[in-house]
Amino acid sequence: MEKVLNRSELSHQGEGMFTCGEFATEADSVAHLDTLLDETGLFKTYKEVEGIYEFSHHYKKKTSPRIDRIIIPIREPLSRLVGAIGIECKASNLNIGKPFSQCMDYSTAVFRLYGKTVISVKLDFVFLWPLNLPGGVISSIASQNRVGGIYEYDNPGFRSLNFSFGSNTIIRYEFNSRNLKIHDSIQVFGKKKGSR
């Protein structure tokens, strides 16, 4: 498995936006994310979760979603502020257009989590891994729809896992200090509807 190096910035090629990191395959990418999530100790992880779309546009095909990971916060204060978080995983250097649209579709689905009991959940946020979104228009659209990117920042002496909507990092876990930072407005992202 290849590890994310000191490069966490978004790849730009022409007009496109691409996933970041140094993962040759999706399997390498998913394995590294699982390691990071375990290391934080912040979440219970559910793998390859199937669901049903609660809403679908009339012109879309009727399909059933399957998301790579759903994570549930298990440590305060995060567990008091955020419910289920969905994560779609890809390899590095892929154009984000289709997977980002996929993430937006997942926000209209209900997923079934199996354990001692079966529960159905709606996702509070959906993120694409590994992705460091830029600011600007795409960041605004992402924030309004609660769809963003997760990336690892890895430099000597400082390493973090970041959940963000471009310029708004809503959750940052700093591995060296075991410090958790949560955006003050985490609960109000995407609340507006209609005219601005």
Q: Residues 141-190: pLDDT tens digits? A: 777 778 999 999 998 889 999 999 877 889 999 999 999 999 887 666 55
- Between 12 and 96, the more confident residue is 96
115 by Cβ neighbours in 10 Å (0-12 / 13-18 / 19+) ranks as exposed
The predicted-structure confidence for 16-67, as pLDDT tens digits, reads as follows 689 999 999 999 999 999 999 999 999 999 999 999 998 766 776 777 899 9
The per-residue pLDDT for 189 is: 57
State pTM to two decimals: 0.85
d(CA 9, CA 18): 10
The predicted-structure confidence for 115-128, as pLDDT tens digits, reads as follows 888 999 999 999 99
- Between 92 and 64, the more confident residue is 92
| DSSP-derived 3-state class of residue 30 | helix
The pair of three-digit structure tokens given for residue 95, joined into one six-digit string = 């154009």
- Is the model's pLDDT at 9 over the cut of 60? no
The per-residue pLDDT for 10 is: 46
pLDDT band at 192 (very low <50, low <70, confident <90, very high): low
* Site of tokens 């997977």: 99
The per-residue pLDDT for 6 is: 36
